[in-house]
Amino acid sequence: MRILISADMEGATGVTCTADVVPGTEQWQRFRRLLTGDVNACATGLLSAGATDVLVNEAHSAQRNILIEDLDPRARLLTGRHKPLSMMQGIDTRVDGVVFLGYHTGAGADGVLAHTYLENAITEVRLDGVPASEGRLNAALAAEHGVPVIMVTGDDLTCAEAAGYAPRAATAAVKECVSRYAAICAPPQTTADLIRTAAARAMATAGRGHGDAAAHVIEVDFDATHLAHAAAVVPTVDLSATRTVRFTAESMTEAMKAFKVVTAIAAAAMDGIYG
Ligand SMILES: [Zn+2]
């Protein structure tokens, strides 16, 4: 049983503010340890319940957050950036289940450090008309490979949202959202128990299904017009409203590649504090 863990950081134990997740800061150095602890608790639970291979794919920022020296020696780590499938690199038809660890709610939603890819320039993303978090987008990509999302960890709102795209997934809420920058957090010893138990439970839903590629429509709302105009330069991407772009792709894999280009070109068009 091969399990992929896609490890983001905003939903890790104790994380509540910008400095906690910005590489290079003192706080980030602290929370890398806690993120690694969440990953280890998850791997322990998965391996105790039948997983035979655990690949951890770094999914946050520059994708170099987890401390490999502290990682469970039974896991493997995909670290570093410039991966075609980004947060979901490692997904293929041989994987039996994927875990979204340290995830968060989407742009425009309530939740600790809520966003979708860009921290604040994107105000909403819709997948086939439905507001989409990174979790919902990545779940659609997993489904295309026939891979179930077996577990989600993050704040309580992230876990509640997961019911909408992965109703059978086990969840572990490591904190209770109070505001975008505040949460009631359980300490690491407590969250490790929660995560390990949920991961063991999650293995009951692991197992490949039949994946089907289908066309998808993605719309992205930006907080300023020039970002939408910049994104609309990408072939197949059209300006559909003043601050919105829209594109269709023949599969979720292609849609996520296009989305990655849209976010990269919009990020490059941002200008100082005016964004
Ligand atoms: Zn994220």
3-state secondary structure of 45: helix
Residue pair 202/138 in contact by the 8 Å Cβ criterion? no
- How many angstroms is it from 64 CA to the middle of ligand 1? 14
Q: pTM value? A: 0.98
Give me the phi and psi of 208, to 5 degrees please: -65, 145
What 3-state DSSP class applies to 170? Answer: strand
Cα(107) to centroid of ligand 1, in Å? 10
Per-residue pLDDT tens for 150-161? Answer: 999 999 999 999
**Sign of the CA dihedral 124, 129, 134, 135?**
positive
Write the pLDDT tens digit of every residue in 239-254.
Answer: 999 999 999 999 999 9
Q: How remote is the CA of residue 103 from the centroid of ligand 1, in Å? A: 6
> What pLDDT, on the 0 to 100 scale, is given for residue 28?
98
SS3 assignment, position 107: coil
Q: What is the pLDDT of residues 78-101, one digit of tens each?
A: 999 999 999 999 999 899 999 999
* Residue among 237, 242, 238, 240 at smallest CA distance from 226: 242
* Sheet strands (E) in 97-167: 97-103, 122-127, 130-131, 149-155
CA of residue 61 to ligand 1 center, whole Å: 8
- How far apart (Å, rounded) are the C-alpha atoms in residues 252 and 222? 21
